[in-house]
Amino acid sequence: MSASGGEFEVVIGLEVHAHLRTKSKLFSPAPILYGAEPNHSVHPVCLALPGVLPVLNEYAVELAIRASIAMNCEVHQRSIFARKNYFYPDLPKGYQISQYEEPLATGGWIDIPTQGAGGAANKKRIRLTRIHMEEDAGKSIHDDAIAGADSTLVDLNRAGVPLVEIVSEPDIRSAEEATDYLRAVRSILRFTDVSDADMEKGHLRCDVNVSLRPRGSDEYGTRTELKNLNSFRFIEEAVRAEIERQTEVLRAGGEVRQCTLAYDPQSGRTSVLRIKEDADDYRYFPDPDLIPMLLTPEQIERVRSELPELAEQRAERFQSEWDLSEQDAVQLTAAPSIANFFQAAAKQHGAPKVVANWILRDVMQALNELELALDDSPFSPEGLAKLIRMVDEGKTTVKSARGLVAELVESGGDPEALIAERGLAAVSDSGVLEQAVAEVLAENPENVELYRSGEKKVVNFLMGQVMRKTQGKADPAAVREILARELGK
């Protein structure tokens, strides 16, 4: 039985951590290199050597402000970096530099799509508590094969990578809303160029707080925290499993205990990582190595005025300026890479609706088949515009062009050269076409008769025969013209 229809209301809040797209770390000049050898993108500051000091990365601040503005928060002119103290081997200083009492931004909201009554598209507003900046920790590697039994290795490449933590109010009411919210967060982070927000690469991580309360109650129940969920599917599954578990506990007259949980995708169950008897005491205090972060109203306004267009605005523009359908516009703004590709190709080509069709049909299919992201493909918007234009101009056929998309998506290259190389140029030489038409008419006298007796539809059959004779390379417009003339005689 689903909890959403039952006697309990689900209350969910998310804490989302997103890596900021900076070249160097939040407080050290070490470069951020994904996939580097362990402990190769480090600096004395990341290693917490004796005597080192943090220096704030200004660009990270700009990105965090940008995210805060895009999420409708109030950005504070004064915020404070604080130390969150705890011991762990992948936390070199013994504290994480974060923000506590005075965060960068508070308030704000994100609208998520929701199905309203009667299936009408609607929006639901999820309020945000705060957005603050902090540094990531390193990684502990417990793998026996790498570290050896009974030992742990530490990789500090990730230590000090800048993050924003986006904390929502407990406004989310279902597992679907939780993933819709996270998708909306991801979209904003990507369209503002704040983060790559790739969950697989750990750029985007999320902790989910779940509690239940009797429907109609306005008090919160005891919540549990699901940690380390690294895909949309796992989040949805884990939240569902946890709702079910809590429902069973409450129905049996039990009490939900405050605890941190892990989700095991194999068993589809949540399990307790640790019980929180008391609140953790991180002994937060303002980091005396850093001065208060002071922003001027001008600085905040500049970031606001330079804020890139978000997905929703972009989709609206595609509809109003280029007359795209809502469905196509939404699909074309699923990621900034697609939207940017479409926008550039449409401008080059001049007929956005035509370009949209090519992207949504052929380019997307090729990407799916190749399991490739558009960002990783060498195919350029110019290449696509040129390919479509060759079809428009009768230099190749739709069939030939579509057959080349997968290859272009995978390996790039100049469509014109590729068409010439493969002998896919449309045949428009009138001598060749006249000859082919004459042969087809001679081979199909009964169809010619039918045409002349009024069965005009047979022209399509005759077209097909001409195309087959020319291996599909004949310029269809030219063939149609010759056929009409010959049949009209």
Partner 1 sequence: MSERIGTLRELRAALDARQTSSVEIVGECLRRAEASQETIHAFVGLRAEAALREAEAADARRGRGEVRSPIDGLPIAIKDNMVQTGEPTHCASRILEGFISPYTSTAVEGLEQSGAIVIGRTNMDEFAMGSSTEHSVDGPTRNPWDPSRTPGGSSGGSAAAVAARIVPAALGSDTGGSIRQPASFCGVVGIKPTYGRVSRWGLVAFASSLDQIGAFAQTAADCAWVLEAIAGHDPRDSTSIPEPAPAYSGVLSGDLSGLRLGLPKEYFVAEGVDAGVLAAVRDAVAQLERAGAKTVEVSLPHARYAIATYYAIANAEASSNLARFDGVRYGHRAAGAKGLTEMYCRTRSEGFGAEVKRRILLGTYFLSAGYYDAYYRKAQQVRTLLRGDFEQAFMACDALVTPTSPEVAFRLGEKTSDLLTMYLSDIYTVSANLAGIPALSTPCGFVDGLPVGLQILGPALDEATPLRIADAFQRITDHHLACPGGAA
Question: Is 277 one of the binding residues for partner 1 (CB under 8 A)?
Answer: no
User: Which residues inside 33-52 make contact with partner 1, applying CB under 8 A?
Assistant: 44, 47-52
Q: How far apart are CA 203 and CA 210, in angstroms?
A: 23
Question: Is 279 one of the binding residues for partner 1 (CB under 8 A)?
Answer: yes
Stretch that binds partner 1, among 84-92, 222-230, 299-307, 431-439 (CB under 8 A): 84-92
How many residues touch partner 1 under the rule CB under 8 A: the total is 30
Q: Is 460 exposed, middle or buried (0-12, 13-18, 19+ CB in 10 A)?
A: exposed
Please choose, from the candidates 302, 305, 306, 332, the residue with its C-alpha nearest in 3D space to the C-alpha of residue 317. Answer: 332
| Residue 358 parent element (H or E) | helix 352-358
Q: Which residues contact 353 (CB under 8 A, 6 or more apart)?
A: 322, 323, 324
Site string for partner 1, 1-40 (x = CB under 8 A): ----------------------------------------
Question: Is 54 one of the binding residues for partner 1 (CB under 8 A)?
Answer: yes
At closest approach, how far in Å is the CB of 62 from partner 1? 17
Question: Is 454 one of the binding residues for partner 1 (CB under 8 A)?
Answer: no
Position among 60, 67, 75, 92 found at the interface with partner 1 (CB under 8 A): 92
Residues 69-97 as b/e (b if ≥16 CB within 10 A, e otherwise) read bbbbbebbeebbbbbbeeeeebbbbebbb
Please choose, from the candidates 192, 137, 176, 123, the residue with its C-alpha nearest in 3D space to the C-alpha of residue 25. Answer: 137
Site string for partner 1, 407-426 (x = CB under 8 A): --------------------
Closer CB to partner 1, 288 or 454, in the complex: 288
Stretch that binds partner 1, among 90-98, 188-196, 213-221, 346-354 (CB under 8 A): 90-98
Closer CB to partner 1, 119 or 288, in the complex: 288
Question: Is 141 one of the binding residues for partner 1 (CB under 8 A)?
Answer: no
Position among 200, 219, 281, 371 found at the interface with partner 1 (CB under 8 A): 281
Please provide the distance, in angstroms rounded to a whole number, between the alpha carbons at the two ends of the chain: 75
Position among 19, 25, 66, 93 found at the interface with partner 1 (CB under 8 A): 93
Q: Which residues contact 459 (CB under 8 A, 6 or more apart)?
A: 451, 480, 483, 484, 487
Q: How far apart are CA 163 and CA 161, in angstroms?
A: 7
Q: Which residues bind partner 1 (CB under 8 A)?
A: 44, 47-56, 83, 85, 87, 89, 92-95, 152, 154, 279, 281, 283-285, 288-291
